[in-house]
C-alpha cells in the first residue's frame, strides 16, 4: 500500500527510541480555551498498542463537565473567529498543511503506534490528512453568496452564507488524523469554532494535531480538544446545550443513529459519515491484473478497517479463476506484523473485540459453504492479528455480505449477468463506496448510475481525494466532506429581502 507521493524520503523510523520520543512529544492534557489542562476526573485514559497490548501512554480522561467547558470556550470565541478575515483563516490552515507535511514521520509513527496499521499506510494517511487543510485553505476565500432581481421587479434577493456556530467533531480510530482534518479544515475555513472529540483508542494523534494547529496560529478557544474513555455522557451533555449548533460524526451507523436522535432536542445541524459495505465489481472485459491490485488496495489499506473497504468482491465467471488465483497469491504473500517493522503490509486489528467479530464472520461463511482460499484464522501471537484472508464461493446468506467486516477478509462471489450483479450490489442497507472494473465505457457509466452509493471508483481501488465530495447515502449517512460541497455543511444560508422600487 505505498503511495509515491508520501513514501520514500519521508520514511518514518520505527526504532524504540523514535517510538518513545514520538509518544513523549505529545501533550497529554485537554485543550480548552487558552490552556492545556487536566481533566476534572482523577483517572487517566490509557492508550494501547494493538500489536502488543502494552500501554503506550496515558492522557487526560474528560468528563461531561470538561466537555461543557470546551463548549463554553468555543462559544466565546465564535464571534471573533467568524469575523476573522477568510484569507487569515485560510493562511492558518495552509501553514498547518505545511507543518503536517514536514512532521509526517512523527505523525505516521504515532498513528501506527496507537492504531496498528503499517507505517506506509500511516504515511499515506498523513498526506491525505494534510491535503484537507490545503484544500480548505483554498476554499476559505470562496464562501460566496448571490444577488438577484426579484422576478416581479421592485426588489432584490441577497443571499449570504455564514458560519453555523460552534461544532462538535467526533472522529473514529481508523484514520485518526485524516478524519479530524477533514472536519476541522471545513469548520475553521467556514468560520466555525470546534470541539474535537477523538476516539478513545487514538487520542495521541488528535492531541499532536491540536498542538500543530495552535502553533500555526489558531486562536485560543477556536479549537478545543477533549479526550475521554466514556464518550456517551460527554457527547450527550454537549449536544443538549443550546450553545452547540452542529455535530459532525464519523463512525458506526449504530452510534450515528443515537446521535441523530440526540440532535433533535436542540435541532442541530448534523453530518453523518457512517459505515459501509462496498461492492467491488470486476467485469469480464476488465484488466484483471489491475483489478487485483485495486482489490488489494481497496480491501487491505488500513488493515481492512476502512469504511470504504471493499466488503464484497463480485467477479465475472469468465475471469473468476484467474482473479482468485492472483488475489490468493497476493494476500498469501503479504507480510503481517507490527506496523513499525520494515516491509510489513498489514498490522493488527484495533482490539480483541474487532478480531472476534472478524473471526465470527469467517466461521459463519465457512459453515454456510464458503471455501478458504488463503488465511482464515487469528494468529497465535501477542496483539490482535488476523491472517489476510480470501474466501471463495461465499453464499448470499453469509453474514459477512450484510455486515461491515472491518478486517483483512475478502469474500468473493462469481456472477454472470450485469443486471443481477447490480441488484446484488445494492442489496444492503449501506451506500457509501462502490468499485467497478471494466474497459467498456458504456457499461461503466450505466453501472455507476445504477449503484446505490455516494461514491463510485472506476478502475481504481480508492476514492480518497480531498477535492471530491466524500459521503454516503442510505444507512451510510448524509452530508459531504471535502470538495466544493464540504464547507457548505458548516455554513447557514441567510436571505435578505431588499426593497428597491424601480
Ligand atoms: P464508533 O461509532 O464506535 O466510534 C466513533 C466515535 O464515536 C468515537 O469517537 C467514539 O468515542 C464515539 N462514540 C462511541 N459511542 C458513542 C456514544 N454513545 N455517544 C457519542 N459518541 C460515541 O466507530 P469506530 O469503531 O470508532 O469506527 C469504525 C466505524 O466508523 C465503522 O463503522 C466505519 O465504517 C466508520 N467510518 C466511517 C467513515 C466515513 O467517512 N463514512 C470513515 C471512517 C470510519
Q: Is residue 1 part of a domain?
A: no
Query: In terms of domains, do 215 and 321 share one?
Result: no
Instruction: Find the helix or strand (DSSP H, E) in which 260 lies.
Output: helix 253-263
Examine the domain organization and report whether 210 and 318 are in the same domain.
no
Per DSSP bridges, beta strands 167-170 and 246-250 are: parallel
Cβ-Cβ contacts under 8 Å for 142 (sequence gap 6 or more): 484, 487
Query: 383: domain CATH number?
Result: 3.40.309.10
235 and 305 inside one domain = no
Distance from the alpha carbon of residue 9 to the mean position of ligand 1, in angstroms: 33
Q: Strand order of the sheet with strand 35-37?
A: 35-37, 30-32, 223-225, 194-197, 167-170, 246-250, 269-273, 477-478
Protein residue with its CA nearest to atom 4 in ligand 1:
251
Are both 101 and 224 inside the same structural domain? yes
Pocket test for ligand 1, best of 181, 235, 254, 255 (most atoms within 8 A of CB): 255
Smallest CA separation from ligand 1 atom 16, residue: 232
Q: Which ligand 1 atom is the nearest neighbour of the CA of 350? A: 25
Pocket lining: 273 vs ligand 1, CB cutoff 6 Å: yes
333 CB under 6 A from ligand 1?
A: no
With a 6 Å cutoff on the Cβ, whether 255 touches ligand 1 is yes
Please tell me which residue in 307, 387, 403, 481 is annotated as part of the active site: 307
Q: Is residue 230 part of a domain?
A: yes
Q: Which residue has the cell 467479530?
A: 357
Q: Is residue 233 within 6 Å of ligand 1 at its C-beta?
A: no
Looking at the fold, whether 250 and 380 belong to one and the same domain comes out as: no
Check pocket membership of 192 for ligand 1, CB cut-off 6 A: no
pLDDT of 12: 47
Cα 279 from chain centroid (whole Å)? 18
Q: Which of 114, 168, 173, 251 to mutate to test the pocket of ligand 1 (most atoms within 8 A of CB)?
A: 251
> pLDDT at position 42, please?
83
- For the chain, helix (H) and strand (E) counts, in that order, are 15, 20
Asked if the structure places residue 8 within a domain, the reply is: no
235 and 322 in a single domain? The answer is: no
The reply to whether 500 falls in a domain is no
Question: Concatenated DSSP letters for 25-47?
Answer: TS--SEEETTEEE--SSSSEEEE
> 354: part of which helix (H) or strand (E)?
helix 352-367
Query: Sign of torsion, CA 281 283 285 288?
Result: positive
Q: Is 203 in the pocket of ligand 1 (CB under 6 A)?
A: no
Are residue 269 and residue 284 in the same domain, yes or no? no
Task: Kindly give the distance from the C-alpha atom of residue 80 to the centroid of ligand 1, in angstroms, as a whole number.
Answer: 31
Cell of 437: 472494473
Q: pLDDT of 93-139, one tens digit each?
A: 999 999 999 999 999 999 999 999 999 999 999 999 999 999 999 99
* Contact 336 CB / ligand 1 (< 6 Å): no
- Residue 287 in any domain: the answer is yes
Cα 71 to middle of ligand 1, angstroms:
21
Tell me whether residue 24 is in a domain.
no
pLDDT at 502: 76
User: What global pTM score does this model have?
Assistant: 0.96
Residues 121 and 223 in one domain: yes
Largest CA-CA distance found in the chain, in angstroms, rounded = 82
Residues lower than pLDDT 50 in the chain: 1-12
Which helix (H) or strand (E) is 456 found in, with range?
A: strand 455-458
pLDDT digits (tens, 9 = 90+) for 272-323: 999 999 999 999 999 999 999 999 999 999 999 999 999 999 999 999 999 9
User: Does residue 248 have its Cβ closer than 6 Å to ligand 1?
Assistant: no
User: What is the rounded (10 degree) CA torsion for 175, 294, 400, 387?
Assistant: -80
Residue 345 falls in the annotated catalytic set: no
The chain-wide mean pLDDT, for the chain, equals 96
Asked whether residue 109 is assigned to any structural domain, the reply reads: yes
Is there a single domain that holds both residue 269 and residue 283? no
Parent domain of 368? 278-429+433-465
Are residues 485 and 445 part of one domain? no
Instruction: Evaluate: CB of 143 within 6 angstroms of ligand 1.
Output: no
Report the distance separating Cα 42 and Cα 278, nearest Å: 43
pLDDT value of residue 204: 98
Residue 22 covered by a domain: no
Overall number of domains in the chain: 2
| Whether residues 260 and 166 fall in one domain | yes
Task: Indicate if 340 and 446 belong to the same structural domain.
Answer: yes
Task: Decide if 114 is catalytic.
Answer: no
In a 3-state reduction of DSSP, which class is residue 61? coil
- Tell me the CATH number at 199: 3.40.605.10
Q: For residues 184 and 166, what is the distance between their CA atoms, to the nearest angstrom?
A: 12
Amino acid at each position: 500500500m505505498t503511495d509515491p507521493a508520501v513514501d520514500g524520503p519521508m520514511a518514518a523510523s520505527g526504532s524504540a527510541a523514535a517510538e518513545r520520543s514520538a509518544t513523549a512529544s505529545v501533550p497529554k492534557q485537554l485543550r480548552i480555551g487558552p490552556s492545556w489542562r487536566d481533566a476534572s476526573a482523577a483517572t487517566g485514559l490509557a492508550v494501547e498498542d494493538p500489536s502488543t497490548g502494552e500501554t503506550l501512554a496515558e492522557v487526560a480522561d474528560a468528563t461531561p463537565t470538561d466537555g461543557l467547558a470546551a463548549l463554553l470556550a468555543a462559544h466565546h470565541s465564535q464571534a471573533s473567529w467568524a469575523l476573522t478575515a477568510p484569507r487569515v483563516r485560510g493562511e492558518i490552515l495552509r501553514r498547518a498543511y505545511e507543518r503536517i507535511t514536514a512532521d509526517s514521520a512523527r505523525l505516521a509513527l504515532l498513528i501506527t503506534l496507537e492504531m496498528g496499521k503499517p507505517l506506509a499506510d500511516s504515511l499515506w494517511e498523513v498526506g491525505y490528512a494534510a491535503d484537507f487543510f490545503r484544500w480548505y485553505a483554498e476554499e476559505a476565500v470562496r464562501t460566496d453568496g448571490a444577488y438577484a432581481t426579484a422576478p416581479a421587479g421592485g426588489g432584490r434577493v441577497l443571499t449570504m452564507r455564514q458560519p453555523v456556530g460552534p461544532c462538535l467533531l467526533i472522529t473514529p480510530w481508523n484514520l485518526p488524523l485524516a478524519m479530524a482534518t477533514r472536519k476541522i479544515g471545513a469548520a475553521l475555513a467556514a468560520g466555525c469554532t470546534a470541539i474535537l472529540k477523538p476516539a478513545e483508542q487514538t487520542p495521541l494523534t488528535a492531541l499532536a494535531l491540536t498542538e500543530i494547529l495552535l502553533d500555526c496560529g489558531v486562536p485560543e478557544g477556536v479549537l478545543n480538544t477533549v479526550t475521554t474513555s466514556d464518550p456517551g455522557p460527554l457527547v450527550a451533555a454537549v449536544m443538549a446545550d443550546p450553545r452547540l449548533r452542529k455535530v459532525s460524526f464519523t463512525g458506526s451507523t449504530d452510534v450515528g443513529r443515537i446521535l441523530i436522535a440526540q440532535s433533535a432536542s436542540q435541532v442541530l445541524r448534523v453530518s453523518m459519515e457512517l459505515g459501509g459495505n462496498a461492492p467491488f465489481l470486476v467485469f469480464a472485459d476488465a484488466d484483471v491484473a489491475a483489478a487485483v491490485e485495486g482489490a488489494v488496495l481497496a480491501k487491505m489499506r488500513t488493515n481492512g478497517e476502512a469504511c470504504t473497504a471493499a466488503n464484497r468482491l463480485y467477479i465475472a465467471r469468465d475471469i473468476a479463476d484467474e482473479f482468485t488465483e492472483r488475489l490468493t497469491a497476493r494476500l498469501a504473500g503479504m507480510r503481517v506484523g507490527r506496523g513499525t517493522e520494515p516491509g510489513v503490509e498489514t498490522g493488527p486489528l484495533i482490539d480483541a473485540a474487532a478480531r472476534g467479530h472478524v473471526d465470527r464472520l469467517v466461521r459463519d461463511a465457512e459453515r454456510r459453504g464458503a471455501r478458504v482460499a488463503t488465511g482464515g484464522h487469528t494468529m497465535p501471537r501477542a496483539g490482535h492479528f488476523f491472517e489476510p484472508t480470501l474466501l471463495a464461493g461465499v453464499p448470499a446468506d453469509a453474514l459477512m455480505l450484510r455486515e461491515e467486516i472491518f478486517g483483512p477478509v475478502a469474500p468473493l462471489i462469481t456472477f454472470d449477468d450485469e443486471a443481477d450483479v447490480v441488484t446484488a450490489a445494492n442489496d444492503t442497507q449501506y451506500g457509501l463506496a462502490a468499485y467497478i472494473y471494466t474497459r467498456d465505457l458504456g457499461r461503466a457509466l450505466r453501472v455507476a448510475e445504477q449503484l446505490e452509493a455516494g461514491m463510485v471508483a472506476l478502475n481504481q481501488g480508492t476514492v480518497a481525494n480531498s477535492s471530491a465530495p466524500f459521503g454516503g447515502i442510505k444507512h451510510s449517512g448524509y452530508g459531504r466532506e471535502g470538495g466544493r460541497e464540504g464547507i457548505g455543511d458548516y455554513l447557514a444560508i441567510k436571505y435578505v429581502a431588499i426593497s428597491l422600487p424601480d
